Amino acid sequence: FEIFNLDMKAGDSLKIKGKISEDTDGFVVNLGHSSSDLALHFNPRFNESVIVCNSKCSKAWQQEHRDNHLCFSKGSTIKLIIEFLADKFQVKLPDGHEVEFPNRHCYDKITYMSVKGGFRVTSFKL
């Protein structure tokens, strides 16, 4: 799904709960100003056993950050907590591990969010 009027400010946390499809290669959670300007692209990839984070500026992808701590599996129900800080994003995984990614655009507000791929959101809370 997509939200175009999210009002997420530095210091806010976003909790997302949902179920991962049995037959997916991965899913994506995007945060930013639009689909072409993303501050955080969070992309667990089961086929590579990695979590890829990236940002996008005017439709151009920037340098990938890879974290090999994929602690959830296809078919599982999970909760992710994304903390938006002034200088970075901290994504808390279900086992407590944190993936950090810099706020490369220095955004102070996030207005756009999308969840795509093999993940069905059951609830989210800002």
Please choose, from the candidates 75, 68, 125, the residue with its C-alpha nearest in 3D space to the C-alpha of residue 93. Answer: 68
Round to whole Å and give the CA distance between 61 and 96.
28
Average predicted confidence (pLDDT) for the chain: 97
Q: What is the arithmetic mean of pLDDT over 100-105?
A: 97
Mean pLDDT for 112-117 is 98
What is the rounded average pLDDT of the residues 69-94? 97
φ, ψ (nearest 5 deg) of residue 59? 70, 0
Summarised one tens digit per residue, pLDDT across range 22-34 is 999 999 999 999 9
Query: 39 has which bridge partners?
Result: none
| 58 vs 105: CA distance, rounded Å | 11
The reported pTM is: 0.97
- Give the per-residue pLDDT at 35: 96
| Confidence grade of residue 49 (pLDDT, cut at 50, 70, 90) | very high
- Residue 105, by phi and psi: left (phi above 0), alpha (psi -120 to 50) or beta? alpha
**Chain segment 82-93, per-residue pLDDT in tens:** 999 999 999 999
**pLDDT reported for residue 62:** 98
d(CA 69, CA 52): 10
d(CA 99, CA 32): 17
Per the structure, the complete domain to which residue 78 belongs is given by 2-125
CATH number at residue 21: 2.60.120.200
Domains of the chain: total? 1
List C-alpha distances in Å: 84 to 9, 23, 45, 114. 7, 30, 22, 16
